[in-house]
Amino acid sequence: MTTLPATVKSTSKVKFKLNNFILEIILIGIFILLSFIARGFLSTGNMLNILRNASLEGIIAFGMTLVIISGEIDLSVGSAVAFYGCLAAILTRDLTAMGYPILPVVLFAIGLTLVFGVLSGTFTGWIRSKFGVPTFITTLALMSGFRGGAYLLTNSFPVTSFPEWFYFFGSGYVFGVIPFQAVVFLVMFGVMYFVSKYTTFGRAVYAIGGNAESARLSGINVKRSRMKVMALTSTFAALSGLIVASQIQSGNPTVGINWELNAISACIIGGVSLAGGKGRIWGTFVGCIFLQILLNGMTLLNIDEYWQYVARAVLILGAVLIYQAQESKK
C-alpha cells in the first residue's frame, strides 16, 4: 500500500483549510481594494457606520441561521419589526395618556413587546409541529398580518410617543464612540455562536435539520426544538423593532421592508444550506459584514443604486455556487 509524501499531505491540508474560508478571503480582497479606490472607506467613522448598518438585520440573521439550519424558514421578520415597534409606541402613548409615569410605561412596553415576540414564534413552531403546516406558509401569512396590524395600530401614520432618553438604544454611543446597536449586534453574535456550537439545543437544531426522524429516534424533542428556534427568531425581530423605534423615535409601519430577504441573504452568503443541517453563526456574521462593506463601497464610489441590487444578486448566486462546488468535491 502506497502512502502520500508528507509534503503532499500538508499541501492538501492547507487547501482544505483555505476552502473553508473562501468567503473571508474574498472579503479581505474587497476590503483591500476599496481601501485604495474608495475615498474615506478606511476612516473610523465609516467602519463604525458599516457595523451599525449591519446590526439590526444582522441580529435577525443570527436567529434566521438556526431556523434555516433546522430546515425551516421565517418570512415574517421584516413585517414583525414594523409591528413590534408600532406596538411599543402605541402602548407608550396610550398608557402615558392615562397618567402613568413614563419610565415604568416604557419598560412595560418593551417587556410586553418581547413577550409577544416569544409567543408569536412559539405559535408558528406549534402550528408546524401540531398540524404539519410548513413554516413557509405560516410565516408568509404572518408577514401580511404583521404589516397590516402595524398599519391598523398606527392608522398608517408614525406614532411618536417615546421619551428623549429612549433615543439612546437606537442612536446612542458606548464610550462616546461605539454605536449601542453595534454593541448589541456583537453581544448577540457571541451568544448565538456559543449556543450553536456548545449547547445541547444547538446540536439538536443541526440534527433536526439533517434528518428530523433520526433526531426524534435519538431522543431529541423535535417539536419543542422547532418551537424554541422559531420563538428565538421572532424575539430577535422584536428586539430589532424596538431598536428601530428608538432610532427614529416613533413606531412606523413602513420600516423593515425586505428585511427577511436581507437576513436570508446574509445566511446564504455565509454558507447556510437552505436544505438544512449545515451552517455557521460565524459565516452569517461574515455575510452581514460582507453585504454592508459591498454596499458601502459602491455608495462611496457613487455607483447607481440599481447596480447595487445587481451586485447583491451576483454575490448571492456566486456564494451558492461556491458552496455547491465545495460540497461536490467533498
Q: Is 224 inside a domain boundary? A: yes
pLDDT of residue 20: 72
In a domain, 23, yes or no: no
CB 253 within 8 A of CB 154: yes
pLDDT at 328: 72
- 241 within a domain of the structure (yes/no): yes
Grid cell, residue 53, equals 448598518
Q: How many CA within 13 A on the CB side of residue 87?
A: 26
Q: Is residue 206 part of a domain?
A: yes
Q: How far is CA 10 from CA 1, 2, 18, 304, 329, in A?
A: 20, 17, 12, 46, 18
Q: Hey, how many other C-beta atoms are within 10 angstroms of the C-beta on 200?
A: 10
Number of domains in the chain: 1
In a domain, 140, yes or no: yes
CB 64 within 8 A of CB 301: no
- Domain assignment present for 225: yes
What integer pLDDT is reported at residue 325 of this predicted model? 77
Q: Is residue 13 part of a domain?
A: no
Residue 85: predicted pLDDT = 97
User: Do 270 and 23 form a contact (C-beta atoms < 8 A)?
Assistant: yes
Whether 294 is covered by a domain: the verdict is: no
Q: Answer whether 81's CB lies under 8 Å from 256's CB.
A: yes
Q: Which domain holds residue 111?
A: 52-258+272-279
Ranges of the chain whose pLDDT falls below 70 = 1-19, 330
In this prediction, residue 10 carries a pLDDT of 47
Question: How far apart are alpha carbons 212 and 49 in whole angstroms?
Answer: 41
- Distance (Å, whole) CA 180 – CA 238: 17
| pLDDT at position 17 | 62
**Predicted pLDDT at 3:** 53
| Each residue's pLDDT tens digit, 11-50 | 445 454 666 788 889 899 999 999 999 999 999 999 999 9
Whether pTM > 0.75 for this model: the answer is yes
Looking at residue 230, its pLDDT comes to 97
Nearest to 83 by CA among 16, 187, 154: 154
